[in-house]
A and B are shown apart, each in its own frame.
Chain A
Amino acid sequence: MTAPVLSHSSLERLRWVVADGWAVTRRDLLHWANRPGQVVANVLFSVMVLLLFAYLFGGAMTVPGGDYREFLVPGVLAMTMIFGVEGTFTAVNNDIARGVTDRFRSMPMAPSAVVVGRCAADMLNAALTLAALVAAGLAIGWRWHEGLLSALAAFGLLLLLRLAMLWLGIYLGLVLRSPESVMALQILVWPLGFLSNAFVPPGTMPGWLGTVVEWNPLSATVAATRELFGNPGWQGTAWPAQHPALAAIAWSALFIAVFLPLSVRRYRLLSR
């Protein structure tokens, strides 16, 4: 006889996770509406990186399989997902520093809603940025060649990478308490972005660097999306380079498996 009651109350709880999560998501949507310039600037930055590499460096670049722009676009898409970690970090960090997290915690709302809302807002933001970059890519001559399903699978991998970065960002936002630490984060993220196959084939690098690059989590997603889009890539020798889709999923899953529980633990520690 207790079972229906139990399921009722857990259903009720789920209802509030969704409702409160949506309220928190809506907060970010209102941020965009109130400060559209910020959103546009963020998207334009990614588009600028794309155009910069396509036109400024593109002429001097040769890649196996031909067209540099075809090679470049998946790289910029994936790198943008990696850089998303800064946005998540800043949002989490600011809320703690300003006492907003404490306000949420002193309210009778579903505790997980804070994270659910953060997730939803950041993933929406990522999807929007991807759409803008894809449009810019199409405009400079990039195409996908393996059909819509493969292309959608590639976008799925990109968003999975962003989800992995989201949990890393939440964890770091909870751990590094001073807002200045975003600088330290940038110092960490930029090498991760550039020590990859996003802009340059690893074969052109010194051997040891090539190996580092092939094992970079970003490289796996870039290689996998190139394959799915039918864009030129580079056949590496390391395991992740030979099984890029598997490696991309494994890297993202590993990040989530490590940082999701760590973040939950950290969030609980706030009550210490």
Chain B
Amino acid sequence: MNRSDPAVLAEDLHKTYGDTAALAGFDLEVPAGTVHGLLGPNGAGKTTAVRVLATLTQPDSGTARVAGFDAVRDPIRVRRRIGLVGQQAAVDEILTGRQNLVLFGRLYHLGAAAAARRADELLERFGLTEAAGRAAGQYSGGMRRRLDLAASLILSPAVLFLDEPTTGLDPRARTEVWESVRQLAAAGTTILLTTQYLDEADQLAGRISVVDHGRVIAEGSPDELKRRIGTDRLDVVVRHAADLPAVARLVGGVASGAAESDRDRRRVSAPVRDGMAALTTLVRALDDEGIEAVDVGLRRPSLDEVFLRLTGENKDKEVAA
């Protein structure tokens, strides 16, 4: 593989199940050493895309190359260079954590001693040394996930696929998994991650592809995607609800669109073009009029809004077509 080759390359992948097109011209390019998020609603085709790239599913057409090899024509070479963490923790629940890692190590064709050594290293790295002798079925959700992750890292894969790695985990376990993913990324592993959670993509991924109806409908860094959806918003929360009309008038003066008042939250909110200038002008005006503000802030649109907007647009297009 050339240094410049992308770690993951999908070109015009198609996959149809019966009448449903799971992948309909799916394109993706992930440079080596980066974390890439596939974001999309249930049934958008994220999992099918990962399964094709991880050699588990044959595409109907298109190209899938992973770590320099063709996933369809050369699956064994690809399998030596990838790790896959699927939606469930795919570990044997009757075996202990250590027995699991030794079993998978042997199946990755490590010798008995090497498999045992690797198992101990990984248990240590994922904080499972103490639980190593207990059956994996007795682990907490987060521990089982970490064991699952460890099993995918036995051969130190060049590319790691994480298919909704935190679905069904409690917030604590989710943070644990995030931490592990960050460490792997820092060590240079290329990671392709699917998620339904926008904050997860925002937290972990350097670049995000928004997937809907089997295609990538938008791609960029989290910031780029947020910027694409439009402008910042200026929020003002006042102490006294009676001040709301006056504040709405002042905000209207600096806004690029209509100001919205929310009586219950004592908040006025409006889109602004030049966020910082608008903020400074407004704070000065509030001061001049002697209005007490509890909070004044500039807000980037959240990825949620980006996501809903993008997938919503797609739906509109479909209706039009």
Residues of A that sit less than 8 Å from B by CB: 16, 19-20, 23-24, 26-27, 30-31, 34-35, 98-100, 102-109, 113, 270-272
Contact = CB atoms under 8 A, between A and B. Distances in A.
Interface stretch (B32-40, B54-62, B191-199, B269-277): B54-62
A113 B57 CA distance: 19
- Per DSSP, chain B at the interface is loop
A26 B104 CA distance: 12
Nearest to B58: A271
Contact of A108 (B57, B88, B103, B109): B109
A221 B193 CA distance: 54
A30 B99 contact: yes
B107 A23 contact: yes
A27 B103 CA distance: 7
Contacts of B96: 34
A19 B151 CA distance: 19
> How big is the B interface, by class?
20 to 34
Contacts of B93: 98
B76 interface: yes
Given A102-B86, A103-B90, A16 B55 contact: no
A64 B82 CA distance: 65
A31 B89 CA distance: 18
- Per DSSP, chain A at the interface is helix
Given A26-B103, A34-B95, A103 B86 contact: yes
A210 to B, nearest CB: 44
Which 8 A-B residue pairs are closest in the complex by CB-CB distance? A99-B90, A103-B90, A108-B79, A23-B106, A106-B84, A99-B88, A109-B107, A99-B86
29 contacts: A16-B109, A20-B106, A20-B107, A23-B107, A24-B107, A30-B94, A31-B95, A34-B94, A34-B96, A98-B88, A98-B89, A98-B90, A99-B87, A99-B90, A102-B56, A102-B86, A102-B90, A103-B104, A104-B107, A105-B56, A106-B56, A106-B79, A106-B82, A107-B104, A107-B107, A108-B108, A113-B107, A270-B56, A271-B56
A34 B94 CA distance: 7
B176 to A, nearest CB: 20
A188 B256 CA distance: 71
Interface of B: 54-58, 76, 79-80, 82, 84, 86-96, 99, 103-104, 106-109, 135, 151
A121 to B, nearest CB: 13
Given A31-B95, A102-B90, A272 B58 contact: yes
Contacts of B109: 16, 19, 108-109
Given A30-B99, A34-B135, A103 B94 contact: no
A105 to B, nearest CB: 6
A89 to B, nearest CB: 17
A27 B91 CA distance: 12
Contacts of A99: 86-90
Contacts of A35: 94
Contacts of B88: 98-99
B80 A106 contact: no
B151 A103 contact: yes
Contacts of A24: 107
